[in-house]
Amino acid sequence: MGSNKRKKKKTQNKKIKNLILIVAALLIIIVGFKVINKNNNNITEVNKTTELTKSQNTETYKASLLACGDVMAHSPQLDAQYNSSTKEYSFDNNYKYVKQYIQNADLAIANLETTLAGNDVYNYSSYPTFNTPDALADALKNAGFDLLSTINNHSFDMSSLGVERTLSTLKAKGFDTVGTRQKKSDNDYIIKNVNNIKLGITSYSYGEIKNGTKYLNGIKVSDEKNDLMNVFDSSDVDKAFNTIYSTVKKYKDDTDMQIVIIHWGNEYSRTPTEFQTKLAQKLCDAGVDIIIGSHPHVVEPVETIKSTDGKHETLVVYSLGNYISNQRREYISMYTEDGLMVDIDIEKKGDNKATVKKVTCIPTWVTKYSSGGKDVYEIIPIADDILQKTTYIDSNYLKQSYKNTSELIKTDDKISVIDSPFNN
């Protein structure tokens, strides 16, 4: 009898212990659930706070972008920039009067319309196939340029070597480049964070495309480089847009502003073609903010256009003209001596999309004179007290150049032309 009681009591104790364990387990689950729920509530609160902070970000970010036109080096320029005593080239003097504008910009860009293929395989040359000493890149760097577009109708003038060596030389000197790339895994665009404003930039050139093969300057691009050069089919606006926008949409959602640099139009025409205006409108409708054009070697209009639905504005610079070249009035056109620097002020408030706030157009003129038995080339900004700073300038040419360029700029509440020395 005593033995049965002990067994019964033992069984009861065991049940009680099991019950206690079950209760304890339930308590742990309940407490754990509350902790997790509390933590989740905390996470939600943190996210809400982050979103609240984000939406209340009232910081204003500002950046300035300076866009300049075609940088070329014709044979007379090569002769002018060569020092027979040192057997070296220097192009620094070309930029001494515009250097302050370039260096004042947060991001300065230009179109490099030549190759840097060296002189081991090819000689230095100009039209119709360009190859320029590396000293030109040094001068551009010394002047303050940050980003160079390397795609245009002359990008394949020195075959694959020209494409490769141009890029490697520029990158070694600290430039950002866009338009051509070294390998397929490289992006066909660049994103530049300038003062907390993310600028998405791509660059494209017109060309022929036959059966998937690209041609530039009448030269067939090698299979090796065919996919490494941003070229659109200039025979069809829709095809051109689809090609360019296929790149833009890669960076559109990750940037505050979208910029397209484009080599297009007809040489020596001061009026945009129908192809240019239609393509600009399509890019505007797709949300591109700034279009920077080159190729005609003369200045074309600068204007603001609106999207078809009226909700978006795009700054269009149809052509910046020649920044520097030997294309002179004596044998081509007086307009080929004219160029344009466009100083674009960009602003972003909080985490909103960046917008163009102000555009200042600075006309330029390339002077050429003789000194010490050699020709001298200088880019002259037609502004401020430039007449007091320079000696070898024909003021009549300068005045005419300012008129040529300023009459093409469609001023509005954002776009203006810098005062010339002739307005004072």
Q: What is the pLDDT of residue 178?
A: 98
CA 244, 195, 307 angle in degrees (round to 5)?
35
Q: Cβ(150)–Cβ(186) under 8 Å?
A: no
Confidence class for position 29, pLDDT limits 50, 70, 90: very low
End-to-end Cα, the chain, rounded Å: 126
pTM assigned to the model: 0.86
Strands 257-263 and 197-210: parallel
Q: Which amino acid is at 113?
A: E
Are the CB atoms for 68 and 320 separated by under 8 Å?
yes
Question: Among 93-97, 183-187, 233-237, 382-386, where is mean pLDDT lowest?
Answer: 382-386
pLDDT tens by residue, 32-58: 444 334 344 433 333 433 444 445 778
> Is the omega angle on the peptide bond into residue 128 within 30 degrees of 0, that is, cis?
yes
Give 368's pLDDT tier (boundaries 50, 70, 90): very high
Residue 48 pLDDT = 37
* Dihedral angle computed from the Cα positions of residues 183, 113, 144 and 409, in that order, rounded to the nearest 10 degrees: -120
CA nearest to 414, candidates 349, 356, 352: 356
pLDDT over threshold 70, residue 99: yes
- pLDDT band at residue 15, thresholds of 50, 70 and 90? low
Residue 28, burial from CB neighbour count under 10 angstroms (0-12, 13-18, 19+) = exposed
Mean pLDDT, rounded, for 196-214: 97
User: In which band, very low, low, confident or very high, does the pLDDT at 5 lie, cut at 50, 70 and 90?
Assistant: very low
Residue among 180, 239, 206, 416 nearest 315 (CA): 416
Place of tokens 């300068």: 398
**Per-residue pLDDT tens over the stretch 241-257:** 999 999 999 999 999 99
Q: How would residue 424 be classed by pLDDT, with cut points 50, 70 and 90?
A: low
Q: For 201-312, where are the alpha helices, taking DSSP H only?
A: 237-251, 274-285
- Mention every residue, 6+ apart, whose C-beta is less than 8 A from residue 104: 64, 66
Q: Which residue has the higher pLDDT, 229 or 51?
A: 229
